[in-house]
């Protein structure tokens, strides 16, 4: 009881001491605080503006644009804009719902397989000794320095030669090509830090190397892999360049809405804003549900399992 009381008292004293600031420190703290407030406002206010205009009638929004008064609240809140999105927003005859399905396909199949291949390659290189292991690791590091945009033409030509250009099967066949980069380095360091004694215990009990990986090693890396998948899913959801380059007939929401915006009239922009709000909600929901896990597994030096 005395020890507990001492710890609580010490924490209260430490908390009071940590909040004491000199005049100069307080000014710096206030300036930094105001900068973050302004930065937060610059992110939140445009989103609120988009939501507000998504409920306006198309004619009302067009008049507000002419009068430079788009900050005005809607005269009548039209929730029908959100239902009309699924029938009116199209790109190359692909509806809004079709774009959404493509987005989920790129995430579940593409990013899911890619993160799995990241786990496999990093585990093999980290835990097994074989000829050429150092060369493969060096190539993986060197590949991170190559400009991605500069290789796009070669990538398109290669996919066309293999019959995988503008083909959704390419998402499956090319997922392994993304098994390098930042995620590979993190998983390599993670598996490197795990003792091989776990594998030896499994081998003694009769387990083979596949069982050791899937039943022992891989479950240990689930927290980190989950965090990597969530971050990759958010990136893929907002990515419009990859479908624009390799899957022109299968646009995701980011690409489809970007292209559809050029075909809409001013009177249809309220409905377009409604589509943007719907597109933003899954990302906000995903981050809200898993923000604790992301922050827990994320540290100054990188991710931790």
**Residue 58 shares a structural domain with residue 157:** no
Among residues 86, 107, 133, the one where a domain terminates is 86
**Residue 217 shares a structural domain with residue 280:** yes
β partners of residue 94: 91
pLDDT at 106: 95
Among residues 86, 117, 151, the one where a domain terminates is 86
Query: Tens of pLDDT along 144-193?
Result: 887 776 677 888 888 888 888 999 999 998 887 778 888 898 899 999 98
pLDDT at 11: 47
Q: What mean pLDDT comes out for the span 197-213?
A: 91
Q: Say how many domains are in the chain.
A: 2
**Residue 71 shares a structural domain with residue 133:** no
Phi, psi for 298 (deg, rounded to 5): -115, 130
pLDDT at 266: 79
**Residue 107 shares a structural domain with residue 209:** yes
Averaged pLDDT of the chain: 85
In the predicted model, is pLDDT for residue 98 greater than 90? yes
pLDDT at 284: 86
**Residue 94 shares a structural domain with residue 71:** no
Per-position b or e across 50-69, b if 16+ CB within 10 A of its CB? eebbbbbbbebbbbbeeeee
**Residue 118 shares a structural domain with residue 58:** no
The CA distance from 91 to 253, in Å, is 10
**Residue 247 shares a structural domain with residue 111:** yes
**Residue 57 shares a structural domain with residue 177:** no
**Residue 92 shares a structural domain with residue 80:** no
Query: Which DSSP state fits 68?
Result: T
Query: Which DSSP state fits 213?
Result: I
In the predicted model, is pLDDT for residue 109 greater than 70? yes
Token pair of 103 as six digits: 């987005």
CATH code for the domain of 176: 1.10.3720.10
Whole-structure pTM value: 0.81
- As a whole-number percent, the residues of the chain with pLDDT over 70 amount to 87
In the predicted model, is pLDDT for residue 9 greater than 60? no
Question: What range does the domain containing 166 cover?
Answer: 88-303
In the predicted model, is pLDDT for residue 296 greater than 80? no
**Residue 102 shares a structural domain with residue 42:** no
Cβ atoms of residues 89 and 271 within 8 Å: yes
Q: At what angle do helices 222-237 and 112-127 cross, to 10 degrees?
A: 140
Ramachandran assignment for 102, one of left (phi > 0), alpha (psi -120 to 50 degrees), beta (any other): alpha
Among residues 63, 86, 109, the one where a domain terminates is 86
Give the distance between the most distant pair of CA atoms in the chain: 78
Of the pLDDT bands very low, low, confident and very high (cuts 50, 70, 90), residue 142 is confident
pLDDT-wise least confident of 30-34, 148-152, 230-234: 148-152
């Amino acid at each position: 009881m005395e020890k507990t009381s001492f710890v609580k008292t010490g924490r209260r004293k430490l908390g009071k001491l940590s909040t004491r600031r000199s005049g100069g420190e307080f000014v710096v703290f206030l300036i930094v605080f105001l900068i973050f407030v302004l930065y937060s406002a610059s992110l939140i206010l445009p989103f609120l503006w988009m939501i507000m205009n998504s409920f306006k009638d198309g004619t009302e929004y067009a008049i507000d644009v002419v009068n430079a008064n788009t900050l005005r609240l809607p005269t009548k809140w039209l929730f029908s804009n959100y239902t009309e999105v699924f029938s009116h927003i199209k790109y190359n005859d692909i509806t809004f719902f079709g774009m959404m399905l493509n987005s989920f396909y790129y995430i579940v199949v593409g990013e899911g397989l890619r993160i799995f291949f990241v786990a496999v390659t990093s585990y093999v290189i980290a835990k097994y000794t074989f000829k050429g292991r150092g060369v493969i690791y060096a190539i993986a590091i060197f590949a991170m320095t190559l400009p991605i945009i500069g290789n796009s033409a070669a990538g398109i030509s290669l996919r066309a030669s293999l019959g995988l250009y503008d083909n959704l099967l390419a998402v499956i066949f090319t997922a392994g090509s993304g098994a390098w980069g930042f995620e590979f380095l993190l998983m390599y360091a993670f598996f490197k830090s795990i003792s091989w004694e776990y594998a030896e215990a499994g081998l003694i009990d009769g387990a083979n190397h596949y069982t050791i990986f899937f039943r022992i090693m891989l479950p240990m890396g689930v927290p980190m892999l989950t965090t990597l998948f969530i971050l990759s899913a958010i990136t893929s959801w907002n990515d419009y360049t990859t479908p624009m380059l390799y899957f022109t007939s299968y646009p995701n929401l980011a690409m489809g809405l970007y292209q559809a915006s050029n075909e809409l009239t001013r009177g249809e922009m309220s409905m377009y804003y409604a589509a943007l709000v719907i597109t933003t909600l899954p990302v906000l929901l995903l981050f809200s549900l898993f923000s604790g896990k992301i922050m827990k597994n994320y540290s100054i030096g990188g991710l931790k399992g």
